[in-house]
Amino acid sequence: MALLETRGLTKRFGGLTALDGVDIAVEEGELVSLIGPNGAGKSTLINTITGRLEPTEGDVHYAGTDLVGMEPFEIAQLGVGRSFQTASILPELTVRENIQVASFAAEHGSFRVNFLRRRDSFEDVQARTNDILETIELDSKAGVEAGSLPYGDKRRLEVAIGLATDPDLLFMDEPTAGMSPTETEMTVNLIDDLLEEWGMTVFLVEHDMDIVFDISDRIFTLHQGELIAKGTPAEIREHPAVREAYLGG
């Protein structure tokens, strides 16, 4: 059975159908990428799976659990993480503190930390924080105020905040957007570590086709809310509908 499966996933915003009956299945340990032009519904797909948006129709199953109607933090507690937007970084806290806050929040379901349980789990959180700092290559900046980090480091800190919830499946929405080539390379290496060393399943939305075709096990293609193709990079490259809609013929 697939780790994640959607059936007929549909999201309408008023008269606009942002997702139209999307069926996808993701196997454990895979790196899948979702591609499609701006406005295709990529972020909406992530948001409906992770509980930010409620689907209009359709099902989402993760490891046998029906996710529809669950709160985002409940879905995160099941092991579904996402790399958050910069808005989730607390700029006056250090890099380390940002990860710790996210770890505590993950364990306790909210930012209202239960101080009795906190003492029990403090060492776990420390150990996890150190692992994460090393993986995202921010260990040398652990004590730096998050707000003062350069752009690429901030984006990797967002990934770190996503990792703090200890996910088995991680969604990343355009993690390299706006990055320099060096920052992009670090992010690609990071994704590689998540798969190879952390044994994670990764669901990537990425606009850089060189990266997508290079690192993905399988690729899903959305066009105007519809899944028009799915397959290996080689299959997608040759897919007539994808070439026409997205790769420019």
CA dist., res. 111 & res. 42, Å (int): 29
140 lies in the binding site for ligand ADP (CB under 6 A): no
CB of 214 to ligand ADP, least distance (A): 21
Write down the residue that tokens 């809310």 correspond to. Answer: 225
For residue 132, what are the contacts with CB-CB under 8 A and spacing of at least 6?
A: 99, 160, 163, 164
Name the closest residue to Mg ion (Cβ). Answer: 43
The CA–CA distances, whole Å, from 98 to 15, 95, 102, 171, 228 equal: 39, 5, 6, 19, 39
Sheet containing strand 65-66, strands side by side: 16-26, 4-13, 57-62, 65-66
Among residues 13, 66, 91, 199, the one that binds ligand ADP under rule CB under 6 A = 13
228 lies in the binding site for ligand ADP (CB under 6 A): no
Size of the site for ligand ADP (CB under 6 A): 11
Question: Residue 4, SS3?
Answer: strand
Q: Residue 12 or residue 207: which is nearer to Mg ion going by CB?
A: 207
Q: Which stretch binds ligand ADP (CB under 6 A): 21-29, 34-42, 93-101, 206-214?
A: 34-42
Selection from 247, 210, 202 nearest residue 229 by Cα: 247
42 lies in the binding site for ligand ADP (CB under 6 A): yes
Q: Residue 11 or residue 42: which is nearer to Mg ion going by CB?
A: 42
Q: Residue 156 or residue 223: which is nearer to ligand ADP going by CB?
A: 223
44 lies in the binding site for ligand ADP (CB under 6 A): yes
CA dist., res. 37 & res. 239, Å (int): 16
Query: Residue 40 binds which entry of Mg ion, ligand ADP, none, with Cβ cut-offs from 5 to 8 Å by kind?
Result: ligand ADP
Question: Residue 178, SS3?
Answer: coil
| Interface positions with ligand ADP (CB under 6 A) | 13, 16, 18, 36, 38-44
